[in-house]
Amino acid sequence: MTGRLAVIGAGAVGRSVVELAGEYGYSVTAVADSSSAAIDSEGLDAEAVLDRKDETGSVGNETPEAALDAAYDVLIEATPTTLGDAEPGFSHVEAALERDRHAVLANKGPVAERYGDLMDLVDASEGDIRFEATVGGAIPALSTIEDVGATNITAARGVLNGTANFILTRMAAEGLDYEHVLAEAQDLGVAEADPTFDVEGTDAALKCVILANVLGQGDREFTLSDATVEGITNVPGSALELAAESGRTVRLVGEASPGAVRVGPRLIPENGTLAVSGTQNIVQLETEHAGQLNISGRGAGGPETATAVLSDVGRLF
Amino acid sequence: MTATDRTETQTHTVRLELVDEPGELLRALKPISENGGNLMSIYHERGNLTPRGHIPVEIDFSCAPHQFETIVDALRGEGVNVIQAGTERYDEELTVLLVGHLVDTDLSDTLQKIEACANASLKDLSLSAPKGTEEASSALLRLAARSGTTEETLSTLRSIADGKDLHVVEPLTEGSR
């Protein structure tokens, strides 16, 4: 098996996958962005494709649809997360499975919003899907659940959004208010120009929905609308000060159990396991017989997330 | 199992009001010890008066579940006014943050509502309103809740807060060790 990858989406994650694929021993036979594609069944020159993207804004001369028909073993779905019908990501994965190819998702939409539909496609295909990169970036959360066994895990919780965590950490450390720290985070590139997805808890909730779907093993399907979600925009600096006076702090904590998904700011011990700082993420698994398992690390970023994608590719072969 | 269940002791709290006269406290304690209750603590709130001008006293004792009613009946039989007779102590501490326009929405009314319906008593409160009443302020509340009622207390708290457009930052009760 040569390991030919078709990378759909040329944002931070897609680019890093293209860049790192060679190091992992895979070749990239197709890369698509929203308007074009580069295709070579013998393997593309990663650097040349990315340079072209930087210079001209497009990766190649082919249409994006042509990348779906290219020769590949694993399709990497790395387009931006969309809600509801999770398109066009869902159709990209569908195209791969219908050709009995594998798909690896970094896009949360299809796994959070259409888990059942996705699993039906997998059942009908020789191909399989994996989506480690959708939860906690570089953190091997889903593969750990797979190793331990979903039935041996009663709940998963964690700090799953680096932007929100950075803001809360800075507010607590500097005694600053939300607006002030948000502006700083935007300057540093930690928060996007429109931070809604992160600070309102949507991103963390999608990850928890995915965790709940995996833990539920098909007994119950969750979507974002089943989650109880509250963001951090209502947490003033004074709340963090009061929390600190009693040895506590506030973190945006997501919880997923087979019965419920909830995300919201929570009071936790200042030196507790879940009180990770800055853009760090942590996933905590409550096991049936072995207490808690904690895995922390970088929850976002191109190379970090691409690492999870490429590990998934390795698990498929 | 059933035999131990019947004899397993539980801690109970009763609140009484006593007339401020010599011998009153002893009169109230006798029915407890005589009926198998093991006294654990007595909190004589001197300086505090009940609406009827009496002194509130809080007594913790342990006894088997079936002895509890006998003791309360015996107290009442002695003419002692039992204000509250709980089957369990407030032995779970709960710390929550309340955020929003706390002052403008009548903080003391909020606290009264919490104490009245949340199955909890307020032990401590710190308020921080660095920008006066203009912007959101925060309060850290330490509540004592009856054991096993944490979820219920939190849900009551949420609905009280909702009614005043306040936000509750709840403690993560699991997994935060």
**Number of independent structural domains in chain B:** 2
A262 and B CB contact within 8 Å: no
HSE-CB of A265 using CA atoms within 13 angstroms: 27
Give the number of other CB atoms < 10 A from CB of residue A249. 23
A292 and B CB contact within 8 Å: yes
**Gap between the Cα atoms of A223 and A84, Å rounded:** 9
Same domain, A76 and A209: no
Taking CB atoms and an 8 Å limit, are A266 and B172 in contact across chains?
Answer: yes
The minimal CB distance from A234 to the residues B128, B140, B167 is found for B167
Same domain, A124 and A145: no
Which letter does DSSP use for residue A315 in this model?
H
The minimal CB distance from A246 to the residues B95, B135, B170 is found for B95
Please report the pLDDT score of residue B176 as a whole number: 40
Same domain, A176 and A279: yes
Please report the pLDDT score of residue B175 as a whole number: 45
Same domain, B134 and B161: yes
Please choose, from the candidates A78, A16, A15, A74, the residue with its C-alpha nearest in 3D space to the C-alpha of residue A314: A74
pLDDT by residue (tens digit) across A266-284?
A: 999 998 999 999 999 999 9
Same domain, A128 and A159: no
**Gap between the Cα atoms of A140 and A254, Å rounded:** 17
Amino acid at B19: V
CATH number, domain with residue A163:
3.30.360.10
Taking CB atoms and an 8 Å limit, are B170 and A155 in contact across chains?
Answer: no
Same domain, B81 and B152: no
- The residues of A annotated with a catalytic role in the active site are 207
Same domain, A116 and A249: no
A208 and B CB contact within 8 Å: no
Q: Does residue B10 fall inside a structural domain?
A: yes
From B40, B69, B86, the end of a domain falls on B86
Same domain, B138 and B163: yes
Please choose, from the candidates B26, B24, B28, B30, the residue with its C-alpha nearest in 3D space to the C-alpha of residue B15: B28
From B62, B86, B110, the end of a domain falls on B86
Residue B48 has pLDDT above 90, yes or no: no
ipTM of the complex: 0.84
pLDDT by residue (tens digit) across A63-114?
A: 999 999 999 999 999 999 999 999 999 999 999 999 999 999 999 999 999 9
Least confident of A227-241, B108-122, B157-171: B108-122
pLDDT by residue (tens digit) across A20-57?
A: 999 999 999 999 999 999 999 999 999 999 999 999 99
Q: Does residue B157 fall inside a structural domain?
A: yes
Same domain, B96 and B44: no
For residues A234-255, average pLDDT: 94
Same domain, B80 and B98: no
Domain that holds residue A42: 4-137+303-316
Task: For residue A234, list chain B residues with Cβ-Cβ distance below 8 A.
Answer: 99-100, 136, 167
Please report the pLDDT score of residue B151 as a whole number: 83
- Percent of chain B at pLDDT > 70 equals 85
Same domain, A153 and A125: no
Same domain, B61 and B100: no
Amino acid at A230: E
Taking CB atoms and an 8 Å limit, are A267 and B95 in contact across chains?
Answer: yes
For residues B33-46, average pLDDT: 84
CATH number, domain with residue A72:
3.40.50.720
**Gap between the Cα atoms of A89 and A87, Å rounded:** 5
Please report the pLDDT score of residue B118 as a whole number: 60
pLDDT band for B91, please (50, 70, 90 cuts). Answer: low
Residue A212 has pLDDT above 70, yes or no: yes
Taking CB atoms and an 8 Å limit, are B172 and A248 in contact across chains?
Answer: no
- Interfacial A residues in 128-157 facing B (CB < 8 Å): 155, 157
For residues B71-84, average pLDDT: 85
Between the CA of residue A175 and those of A97, A243, A297, B100, what are the distances in Å? 51, 12, 25, 18
Same domain, A32 and A99: yes
- Interfacial A residues in 242-261 facing B (CB < 8 Å): 242-243, 245-246, 248, 250, 253
Same domain, B82 and B123: no
If you measure CA to CA, which chain A residue comes closest to B135? A236
Contact B28, B75 (CB under 8 A): yes
Q: Does residue B174 fall inside a structural domain?
A: no
Same domain, A160 and A289: yes
Residue A1 has pLDDT above 80, yes or no: no
Taking CB atoms and an 8 Å limit, are B167 and A237 in contact across chains?
Answer: no
Task: For residue A248, list chain B residues with Cβ-Cβ distance below 8 A.
Answer: 95, 171
Least Cα separation, residue B97 to chain A (angstroms): 7
Same domain, B49 and B74: yes
Please choose, from the candidates A248, A286, A289, the residue with its C-alpha nearest in 3D space to the C-alpha of residue A266: A248
Same domain, A161 and A295: yes
For residues A147-151, average pLDDT: 95
Same domain, A153 and A264: yes
Contact B36, B63 (CB under 8 A): yes
Same domain, A47 and A124: yes
Same domain, A107 and A196: no
Task: For residue A282, list chain B residues with Cβ-Cβ distance below 8 A.
Answer: none
The minimal CB distance from A267 to the residues B96, B126, B175 is found for B96
B100 and A CB contact within 8 Å: yes
Q: Does residue B175 fall inside a structural domain?
A: no
CATH number, domain with residue B111:
3.30.70.260
Domain that holds residue B53: 2-86
The minimal CB distance from A253 to the residues B136, B139, B172 is found for B172
Please report the pLDDT score of residue B9 as a whole number: 75
Please report the pLDDT score of residue B177 as a whole number: 38
pLDDT band for B130, please (50, 70, 90 cuts). Answer: confident
Task: For residue B172, list chain A residues with Cβ-Cβ distance below 8 A.
Answer: 157, 253, 266-268, 274
Q: Does residue B177 fall inside a structural domain?
A: no
Least Cα separation, residue A247 to chain B (angstroms): 11
Contact A60, A52 (CB under 8 A): yes
Same domain, B96 and B21: no
pLDDT band for B147, please (50, 70, 90 cuts). Answer: low
Please report the pLDDT score of residue A78 as a whole number: 97
The minimal CB distance from B97 to the residues A230, A242, A274 is found for A242
Picking from B93, B127, B138 by the largest number of A CB atoms within 10 A of its own CB, the best residue to mutate is: B138
**Number of independent structural domains in chain A:** 2
Least Cα separation, residue B5 to chain A (angstroms): 28
Taking CB atoms and an 8 Å limit, are A236 and B137 in contact across chains?
Answer: yes
Please report the pLDDT score of residue B69 as a whole number: 83
A239 and B CB contact within 8 Å: yes
pLDDT by residue (tens digit) across B53-66?
A: 788 888 888 888 78
Residue A7 has pLDDT above 90, yes or no: yes
Taking CB atoms and an 8 Å limit, are B99 and A245 in contact across chains?
Answer: no
A238 and B CB contact within 8 Å: yes
